Chains A and B, each alone.
Chain A
Amino acid sequence: AWAENIKVGAILAVTGGASFLGGPEARSLEMLVEEVNNNGGINGNKIELIIKDSAASPEKAISFAKQLIEEEKVLAIIGPSTSGETMKIKNICEQAKTPLLSCGAAEVIVNPVAAYVFKTPQKDSFAVKKIFMEMNKMGISKIAVLAGNTGFGKAGKGQLLKIAPEFGIEVVEVEVYDKKSNDLSAVVAKIKANKDVQAVINWSIVPAQAIVAKNMRQAGWDVPLFQSHGFGNIKYVEAAGAAAEGIIFPAGRLLIADSLPADNPQKALLMAYKKNYEAKFNEPASTFGGHAYDAFTILMAAVAEAGNDRDKVRTAIEGLKNFAGTGGVFNFSAEDHNGLGIEAFQMMIVKDGKFVAYTGK
């Protein structure tokens, strides 16, 4: 018999401007809950998932967070999809002592640390460092930075500018464009005119990632193009077509799961997630769905250990070590509520329309 249902809330941007995040996240969660419940639940308890669609509006996220905490009395909340929303409900969750496992990218979510707030996406700063390390190897020292005007782009741009000096890299051009831009040839022309630029880093989401690539190549400009870890969806490569060739970016290992060595701790779960997701939803798995996957599996691991209790679950999450997820191997602690190190990232390159691990020239 089922002792009790474990209620888990999720606030995701299933529709609206950030639906490319919320969509796969919501689908991943639905799939996982079904799997867990079909396998007998956690310690015999079924999981009840309540997904609220915030459409990326903070005010809705706030309303939903209060609703989930008080009315539904959920054990924990997964999401929101974006950093802006997460920051709005950070205090609410903290006050209500409800664990929040955000899928937002920005580092401010966990730095400074709030006791009940965690996040699963890898830190931007590591992605940035990974890119700069690669640039150092390639001998690139003057770069241009492009970013979309989303929370993701904003956070990335901030880190890029902050960390660049550490690696002796000079950012000579910075531009922020609208997330809905449909042609960036003007701005590409502008930065191309700066002859110092040796490489371009673009930090954004769809569809601009593909548009930047196309406009650069159409302009006959062939400096290396780096993208953020947000490029982690093979569809974007398809969208950019021939222009995607040679794009270098850091990402979790989900994208190259097949080619991982067999002893990699992530390999099995990555393959399974990818297979199940693609079979169920008939679309390629993306790293975004992976963030929700990680949030959910982390929560379940904590619940398995600590039961249906907000405080104990929180403590259990803080105690998780060597936990393999899609984004990397998590090692949480009281100071680190993200739990991922720089090794969670792997540099990749697009070759013949596929992602392959990038190992330098």
Chain B
Amino acid sequence: MKKLLSILPLLAVVIGVHLLTSATDTMYYLTQMTMSAYYSLLIIGLCVLMGYAGQISLGHAGFFAIGGYLSAALTTRSLIPYQGTTLVSLLDSAGLLLSGHDLYGEALLVVTPWAACIIAVLTAACIAVVIGIPVLKLKGHYLAMATLGFGIIIYRLALAMEYFGEADGISEVPAFVLLPGVSVSGNFSDRVQNYYIAWVLLLIGMVLLLNLIDSRVGRALRGIHGSDEAADAMGVNTARFKLQTFVLSAVFAAIAGVFLTHYNGGIGPSEAGVMKSVRYVAIVAVGGMAHLWGALLMGIVLNFLSLRGIFGSYDDAVFGLILIVIMLFAPNGILSINVRHRLRQLLGRGKQDRAGEV
């Protein structure tokens, strides 16, 4: 319950931002806020995996890409050539197919976004299970390398397969109609709606994860981080918990991928790139590793600035600088320095003074 309450101020901020931008006629900021929210969804998932379960993943852009690419491909690549195959007719009879015409009047038969979304997220989860079992047995740098390798493989496949558009990626992805009248799309007219879709999704994700880390499972995860061996001896099935967390964060990443792809109307191989994964890890670290709020904050701020092109051609340079500066001077994340630590220091000093008086 307390956790739910802690989300309320954030909800207020979200609504406030909307009201403020609409009052000042700067609603266009919401575009980047929406995109940042989706990236942050991935980042908070990764934060639980890295900060709490202590398992580094340099391949999370891969899961994002699995979600994004699959739902993009399923909802854009026409199945007309395969009409009549059992799989297609099966899907059709299940009501999962949508026929229509593309922008240029060609007949089109595609999977509905809802079905595509579910297929994409389930695929990501299954892949996470399959690779998670062997990968999570590794430790430290070896784990980093294995996840990095996974990311590279996904990137390479996206880049090599005709189905995924090779270097051009997939464009003209249709809107994702969540409910009648509510759809994820990049149309200028749907902006406010999409801002709320993204943020509500992020808030739900945040509540779930906050609940998780402050529970039996969360403690077990932190225990694994603290001492793998001792957690094991406490009866924690460490392998299974690590795997479940890995899958959970993969699902978060895939959902983010699906939604952002529909929002953007397309996806390209840069979303699967290794530097993206590195960026996500770095943002989690800058947020303070085991710090969901820090990760959320940094995810929003850094992505927002970068998507707005604030730093121009120095985007990477500034990002690198932020990384170094924060890691040098505030290794426990941005929040640790600015708010908590300083406050505590101040309070602490106050207490000492009073103690001195007495």
Contact = CB atoms under 8 A, between A and B. Distances in A.
Interface of A: 14-15, 51-53, 55-60, 62-64, 66-67, 70-71, 82-85, 87-88, 90-92, 95-96, 106, 112, 149-155, 176
27 contacts: A14-B313, A53-B315, A58-B264, A58-B266, A59-B260, A60-B306, A62-B264, A62-B265, A63-B32, A64-B309, A67-B32, A70-B188, A82-B167, A84-B168, A84-B268, A84-B269, A87-B168, A87-B171, A87-B266, A91-B172, A91-B265, A92-B186, A95-B187, A95-B188, A151-B168, A154-B167, A154-B168
B169 A67 contact: no
Contacts of B306: 60
A341 B306 CA distance: 40
B268 A63 contact: no
A112 B269 CA distance: 24
Contacts of B269: 84
B316 A15 contact: yes
A56 B275 CA distance: 13
A52 B168 contact: no
B110 interface: no
Interface string B151-166: 0000000011000011
Nearest to B39: A59
A64 B166 CA distance: 23
B169 A59 contact: no
Interface string B123-136: 00000000000000
B307 A59 contact: yes
A15 B167 contact: no
B283 interface: no
Given A63-B307, A95-B188, A55 B167 contact: no
B28 interface: yes
A70 B28 contact: yes
Given A51-B312, A84-B169, 16 more contacts: A57-B270, A59-B35, A59-B271, A60-B309, A62-B265, A63-B31, A67-B309, A70-B28, A70-B188, A84-B268, A87-B266, A149-B160, A151-B166, A151-B168, A154-B167, A176-B160
Contacts of A85: 268
Contacts of A62: 186, 264-266
Contacts of B265: 62, 88, 91-92
Contact of A55 (B28, B160, B316): B316
A71, A83, A88 — most chain B CB neighbours (10 Å):
A88
Judged by DSSP, the binding face of A is: helix
Interface of B: 26, 28, 31-32, 35, 103-104, 159-160, 165-169, 171-172, 186-188, 260, 264-271, 306-309, 312-313, 315-316
Contacts of A70: 28, 188
A90 B171 contact: yes
A84 B165 CA distance: 9
B103, B264, B266 — most chain A CB neighbours (10 Å):
B266
A152 to B, nearest CB: 8
Contacts of A83: 168
A59 B264 contact: yes
Contacts of B186: 62, 66, 92
A139 to B, nearest CB: 32
Nearest to B309: A52
Contacts of A154: 166-168
A67 B166 contact: no
A96 B307 CA distance: 20
A60 B168 CA distance: 14
Contact of A58 (B187, B268, B316): B268
Nearest to B306: A60
B270 A56 contact: yes
Given A112-B104, A149-B160, A60 B167 contact: no
Given A58-B169, A87-B171, A88-B265, A63 B309 contact: yes
A96 B315 CA distance: 27
Contacts of B267: 58-59
A52 B309 CA distance: 7
A95 B270 CA distance: 25
Nearest to B276: A57
Contact of B307 (A60, A71, A90, A112): A60
B17 to A, nearest CB: 16
A63 B35 contact: yes
Contacts of B270: 55-59
B28 A66 contact: yes
A53 B312 contact: yes
B175 to A, nearest CB: 11
A112 B101 CA distance: 14
A21 to B, nearest CB: 13
Nearest to B36: A63
Contact of B313 (A53, A64, A87, A152): A53
B31, B168, B270, B312 — most chain A CB neighbours (10 Å):
B168
Contacts of A52: 309, 312
Contacts of B268: 57-59, 84-85, 88
Contacts of A152: 167
Nearest to B268: A58
B35, B306, B309 — most chain A CB neighbours (10 Å):
B309
Contacts of B31: 63, 66-67
B171 A71 contact: no
A27 to B, nearest CB: 12
A8 to B, nearest CB: 16
A51, A106, A151, A152 — most chain B CB neighbours (10 Å):
A151
Contacts of A63: 31-32, 35, 307-309
Given A67-B308, A88-B268, A149 B316 contact: no
Contacts of A150: 167
Contacts of B316: 15, 55
A58 B167 CA distance: 11
Nearest to A176: B160
A83 to B, nearest CB: 6
A70 B104 CA distance: 26
A52, A57, A153 — most chain B CB neighbours (10 Å):
A57
Nearest to A55: B315
A287 B280 CA distance: 37
A10 to B, nearest CB: 12
Contact of B167 (A71, A92, A149): A149
B169 A88 contact: yes
A91 B188 CA distance: 11
